[in-house]
Structure 1
Amino acid sequence: MHVEQLEIFVETIQLGSFAAVAEKRRLNATSVSRSVQNLEKQLGIKLLQRSTRKLTLTEAGEIYFQQVQPILQRLNQAQQQAQDIKQTLQGTLRVTTPIGFAESQLVPLIPKFRKQHPELKLELLITDECLDLLQQKIDVGIRIGNIEEDNWVAKPLLELCFIACASVEFLHNHRIEQPQDLQTVPCIGLIPHPNAQHWCFKKTQTDTLLEEIWVNQELLATHEQAAKQLCLAGQGVALLPHWLVEQEIHDGKLQEVLSDYQGFYQQSEAKIWITYPNREYVPAKSRAFINFLEQEFR
């Protein structure tokens, strides 16, 4: 039997279907199904119960899966350690990152990283979905908010701060001198944040917390990028992460309002994290990328 057959079998259990494995490996589902069937023939046992709705492990399949999975992990680790002896990093580095952070912060840094490691292939999985690092074979993840997975290592990368901002055109027509003014001017809300229609402010110098402000949200968006574009179009004031709008503020396309105050959402995420699977051995390619991020955002 081939190692690839074992990998396909394990991935089928982890991902739940032949179609998901086929999509990941860029094969057709028939080839994936045939690979598992060939493995069953070689073993002389049935590993999977197949139905139109789902795949389930047989009793023998469960035992086999529990034994094979750690063997494959140790094999991958051995291969990685052997490759790390080389002076140049090679192979593929898989990184997952939220959409907004990727566009405004990470992607502009990629050319610099690739110049340092030209033989290393890079796969960017840009999504706001919290992908499973182990199942998806992801080397490094960037996540916003609380990290609850026990099998992840998490290192803080950035404190998450918010900036209330609007376009220059919008501010020509609206006066905003104190947080209470946001109750009467058009505002752009972010649906995913807790208590999205309540914005909190505290004095920057005194750190005095003010009451939550029920802002006049005339527009709501599920994504921060959309809220930023609406803000640039002069549609209202938005409370957005600093890393998402700092360039636009620097270029004069957006202007910070209420600069004497710090705005935030109640119970909002406090940090941006670098995450990676909790393993005995961290590959050199992962360490290089983590060190690069820490250096760039120091």
Structure 2
Amino acid sequence: MDKLNAMSVFVRVVERGSFSAVAREMHTSQPTISKMLQALERELGGKLIARSTRKLSLTDEGQRYYEQCRHILAAVDAAEHNFQSGRETIAGPLRIGSSVSFGRLQIAPRLPAFLRRYPGIQVDLQLSDQNQDLVSEGLDVTLRIGALNDSGLIARHIGTTHRMTVAAPHYLAQHGEPRTPEDLRGHNCLQFNLLTSQNVWVYNHGAHRHEVRIKGNAQSNNSEAIRELVLGGLGVALSPVWLFSEDLKAGRVTALLRDYTAQPLPINAVSPANRRQSARVKAFVDYMSQALETAPELQAIK
């Protein structure tokens, strides 16, 4: 039995929570994966996984062995990487995560050029407006906007999402235009509810900081849904410049409070702490960092 390979399969089964998912990853069958783990259990002399019809759960011994296997595999991976540094081929599968709107509008349009540069990579772009668990989802890297709460991740800052306050002209014709952040209290403010401070909008004006608690009759966990509500004349939104840049040029929305700077949000490329960043992950992160640095829609509105 290839002990190291069996340990790797065991770790992936724990991370994915499914024999079948790991079998698909390895282009083999579920019974083959099951037999490998049974052989490992016989070698160890005890059960690693308590199998049930609903889910997989680790035995106490299995949990300890899983943690030890992660460290061992990470050490082996690091040793190989140090030996092969500079010679690693930029090829193979790359599983990328992102929010729906950012992935559709900022990542997907840039993938053709990226794949022309690296034709040996096969991209799997997974979009979700919930914070994806990198390990259980099998993601190599995910792009996240906003403050990071999980300190157990490897993060690289690759850009900034500048934000602007917007409303449709027909909304403003009916309700008037706010001149200061405090005026927003009298407006119907549309909330993007995945931010921790969804109902507090923060602005800076010189040395002064304005924190305004807003309220409104609609919210969503999807940026493009907020955009549709704004275009429909429902209210005011504090949203990424990249979401409304074309609407602003076309006059479909008006930028408000231009003398005030809305608090920007960082864009981070995040990877699991226990998984070495491959050459293809580094290539993608470098590519996106360069692309976002020069993208007009990622710049602050003057």
Is the TM value for this pair above 0.5?
Answer: yes
3-state SS of 1:218 partner: coil
Q: 1:246 to 1:82 in 2, by over 3 A?
A: same
Q: 1:221 to 1:276 in 2, by over 3 A?
A: closer
Bigger shift: residues 43-52 or 19-28: 19-28
Query: What is the Cα deviation at residue 164 of structure 1?
Result: 0.9
3-state SS of 2:131 partner: coil
Whole-angstrom distance in 2 between the partners of 1:137 and 1:81: 26
Q: 1:14 to 1:261 in 2, by over 3 A?
A: same
Whole-angstrom distance in 1 between the partners of 2:200 and 2:53: 47
Whole-angstrom distance in 2 between the partners of 1:252 and 1:183: 25
Question: Residue type of the partner of 1:284?
Answer: A
3-state SS of 1:209 partner: strand
Q: Is the 8 A contact 2:189 2:237 kept in 1?
A: yes
Q: 1:218 to 1:132 in 2, by over 3 A?
A: closer
Whole-angstrom distance in 2 between the partners of 1:185 and 1:148: 31
Query: Could you list the per-position Cα deviations for residues 124-148 of structure 1 after superposition, in whole angstroms to 9, with x for gaps in the alignment?
Result: 1222333344555533221223334
Bigger shift: residues 284-293 or 21-30: 21-30
Whole-angstrom distance in 2 between the partners of 1:109 and 1:92: 17
The answer on 1:159 being equivalent to 2:172 is no
Bigger shift: residues 160-169 or 21-30: 21-30
Aligned to 1:110: 111
Query: Could you list the per-position Cα deviations for residues 207-238 of structure 1 after superposition, in whole angstroms to 9, with x for gaps in the alignment?
Result: 433452544x1222233221111112222211
Aligned to 2:297: none
Query: Could you list the per-position Cα deviations for residues 86-136 of structure 1 after superposition, in whole angstroms to 9, with x for gaps in the alignment?
Result: 6x6211122222222212222221112111111211121222333344555
Number of residue pairs aligned between Structure 1 and Structure 2: 290
Whole-angstrom distance in 2 between the partners of 1:79 and 1:24: 22
Matches within 5 A, 1:1-298: 1=1, 5-18=6-19, 21=22, 32-41=33-42, 45-52=46-53, 55-58=56-59, 61-62=62-63, 64-73=65-74, 78=80, 85=87, 89-134=90-135, 136-179=137-180, 180-203=182-205, 206-210=206-210, 212=212, 214-215=214-215, 217-264=216-263, 270-278=265-273, 282-298=277-293
Query: Could you list the per-position Cα deviations for residues 145-194 of structure 1 after superposition, in whole angstroms to 9, with x for gaps in the alignment?
Result: 33344443322222343211122333343320413443344332223334
Query: Could you list the per-position Cα deviations for residues 19-78 of structure 1 after superposition, in whole angstroms to 9, with x for gaps in the alignment?
Result: 665676688866654543354356654332334565444465456545544444455563
Query: What are the ranges of 5 or more consecutive residues in structure 2 without an aligned counterpart?
Result: 294-302
3-state SS of 2:238 partner: strand
Over aligned residues, Cα RMSD in angstroms?
A: 3.6
Q: 1:30 to 1:219 in 2, by over 3 A?
A: same
Bigger shift: residues 4-13 or 89-98: 4-13
Whole-angstrom distance in 1 between the partners of 2:226 and 2:131: 21
Q: Is the 8 A contact 1:80 1:283 kept in 2?
A: no
Q: Is the 8 A contact 2:92 2:122 kept in 1?
A: yes
Whole-angstrom distance in 1 between the partners of 2:213 and 2:67: 53
Whole-angstrom distance in 2 between the partners of 1:238 and 1:142: 23
Whole-angstrom distance in 1 between the partners of 2:137 and 2:184: 43
Query: What are the ranges of 5 or more consecutive residues in structure 1 without an aligned counterpart?
Result: none
Whole-angstrom distance in 2 between the partners of 1:279 and 1:48: 21
Q: Is the 8 A contact 2:200 2:211 kept in 1?
A: no
Whole-angstrom distance in 1 between the partners of 2:211 and 2:65: 58
